[in-house]
Amino acid sequence: MTYAWLAGALAMGYAFGCIPVANLVARRHGIADLRAVGDLNPGYWNARALLGSRAALPILLLDAAKGAAGAGFGYAVAGLEGAILGWIGAVLGHMFPATMGFRGGRSLLCLAGGAIVIVPLASIIGAVVLLAVRWRFGFARGIQICLTVTPFAIWYFYGAGLQLAGAVGLLLFIGVRAFLADRALARAGIAKHQDERR
């Protein structure tokens, strides 16, 4: 393994993340740019609120696939270190896509897709927690509990190594960015879309 392969993993992950899946799907349904409508987020939940669950389903699957592809490519060329870098690259590409003027989405689905590749056992635990809590308390609370439980599951199954460091680092970065984005929406008087168990 060389630094060139690690850099390639990061760059390819970023390239996967830059694919504007949500906007491509939205355009097929008459919305030119999700960043100009709804809660201004070019991602699954904004598309779902505007287009409906069925029309938005490809976004759910393909945004997660971007994270999985970044992590998977990294694994193939540079092992675990490459997988972590490919995962990071995909998240950054989704957040700051060169294809969309560096204004992208929140990256939770990219995060989940990469986690499925890198920490599959912990991902299963997180998914079960998310579904159980969502059923009773809604999606927003389910995500909060899932993101709290999953790092502990990663530590339990994989130890305090690169997987845990990568996951916690990405969670913190995504969390801070989401907090700032939510504050900007609140100042503009725009409500963030939440799941209504539809």
Rounded Cα distance between 178 and 180, Å, is 5
Provide the CA 59 distance to its chain's centre, in angstroms: 11
**Can you count the helices (H) and strands (E) in the chain?**
8, 0
pLDDT exceeds 80 at position 62: yes
- pLDDT of residue 197 exceeding 60: no
156 or 2, greater pLDDT = 156
Q: Let me know: does 109 contact 44? Beta carbons within 8 Å.
A: yes
> Which three-class secondary structure state does DSSP give residue 191?
coil
Predicted pLDDT of residue 195: 53
Q: Is the pLDDT of residue 198 over 50?
A: no
Q: Which helix (H) or strand (E) holds 122?
A: helix 120-137
Nearest one of 176, 48, 134 to 126, comparing CA atoms: 134
pLDDT for position 1 = 58
**CB of 69 within 8 A of CB of 76?**
no
Res. 178: pLDDT tops 90 = no
Average pLDDT, the chain: 91
Q: What is the DSSP letter of 34?
A: G
Minimum mean pLDDT range among 91-105, 113-127, 177-191: 177-191
pLDDT at 193: 63
Phi-psi region of 147 (alpha: psi -120 to 50; beta: other; left: phi over 0): alpha
Tokens of 16: 């996967």
Q: Specify the higher pLDDT residue, 193 or 73.
A: 73
Pick from 68, 62, 74, 77: nearest CA to 19: 62
> How much is the average pLDDT of 153-171?
94
